[in-house]
Amino acid sequence: KAGVTQTPRYLIKTRGQQVTLSCSPISGHRSVSWYQQTPGQGLQFLFEYFSETQRNKGNFPGRFSGRQFSNSRSEMNVSTLELGDSALYLCASSLNAGNTDTQYFGPGTRLTVL
Amino acid sequence: GESVGLHLPTLSVQEGDNSIINCAYSNSASDYFIWYKQESGKGPQFIIDIRSNMDKRQGQRVTVLLNKTVKHLSLQIAATQPGDSAVYFCAEMEPRSQGNLIFGKGTKLSVKP
């Protein structure tokens, strides 16, 4: 079965722009979580979606948003990009929401903000 | 490759030796724990998990130990191989959490041939 896929793999943007990242979960998985990974802060939770609804959100500003479609694919959007948004953005999928199922990660999207 | 963390604790072992990677978790209420392995340029890869009603769980060449009294997790890798070289993260999840994994800072394992 195919794993979690993320597109694009690499992205370069300038400050003030916006960006949309895409995540396709493992077939049959209904929950998608997003994480930001930086050398300084490590892996930090952004938000989680299940059945097209945001179930939980981490401590990130409103510039970070997301959505999930009826086929469980998810997108996250970052508006008004700042230099500090440069990071590896990872999505993870699981069968269901919450702590009942293991989360499997995609390869990530490396975002560089200049 | 990508650096996943500056100033990560590093464990250097000889090929064939056993490795023990430790992690202190933050929330005594957490009831689900996972170890992930992250190689350069890749996303975290699931290794093994354990729930709080257990104190030990074994997989293929890996064992996770959970000590709830001191909020400590360890990952033991038997007969460490060069392919085990990576950064290892522990993650915890609280009860009724909505998909929010809390990750430790990671430990870099370096295996010398």
Most confident of A1-5, A61-65, A101-105, B97-101: A61-65
What is the distance in angstroms between the Cα of A94 and the nearest Cα belonging to chain B? 9
The per-residue DSSP string of B8-23 comes to --EEEEETTS-EEEEE
Among A99, A66, A42, smallest CA distance to B52 is for A99
Residue B69, strand partner residues: none
pLDDT of residue B2: 37
Tell me the per-residue pLDDT of B15-29, one tens digit each, with 9 for 90 and over: 999 999 999 998 898
What is the distance in angstroms between the Cα of B97 and the nearest Cα belonging to chain A? 5
pLDDT of residue B102: 87
Residues of B in contact with A60 (CB under 8 A): none
Cα dist from B106 to B58, B72, B100, whole Å:
21, 14, 17
- Ranges of beta strands (E only) in B1-113 are 10-14, 19-24, 32-38, 45-51, 56-58, 62-67, 72-77, 86-93, 102-103, 107-112
Q: Which residue has the higher pLDDT, B98 or A104?
A: A104
CB A23 within 8 A of CB A32: yes
Tell me the per-residue pLDDT of B45-64, one tens digit each, with 9 for 90 and over: 999 999 999 999 999 999 99
Give the 3-state secondary structure of residue B41.
coil
C-alpha B5, offset from chain centre? 15
Quick one: A111 exposed, middle or buried, by C-beta within 10 A (0-12, 13-18, 19+)? buried
Give the 3-state secondary structure of residue B110.
strand
Residues of B in contact with A105 (CB under 8 A): 36, 43-46
Q: Which residues contact B81 (CB under 8 A, 6 or more apart)?
A: B15, B111
Could B5 and A39 be called an inter-chain contact, meaning their C-beta atoms sit closer than 8 Å?
Answer: yes
Q: Which residues contact A79 (CB under 8 A, 6 or more apart)?
A: A18, A63, A65
Of B5, B46, B96, the CB nearest to A102: B46
First to last CA, chain A: 37
Is the backbone peptide bond immediately before A8 cis, with ω within 30 degrees of 0? yes
Tell me the per-residue pLDDT of A5-43, one tens digit each, with 9 for 90 and over: 999 999 999 999 999 999 999 999 999 999 999 988 889
pLDDT at A53 over 80: yes
Structure letter (DSSP) for residue B83: G
Q: Which residues contact A75 (CB under 8 A, 6 or more apart)?
A: A20, A21, A22, A23, A66, A67, A69
What is the distance in angstroms between the Cα of A78 and the nearest Cα belonging to chain B? 20
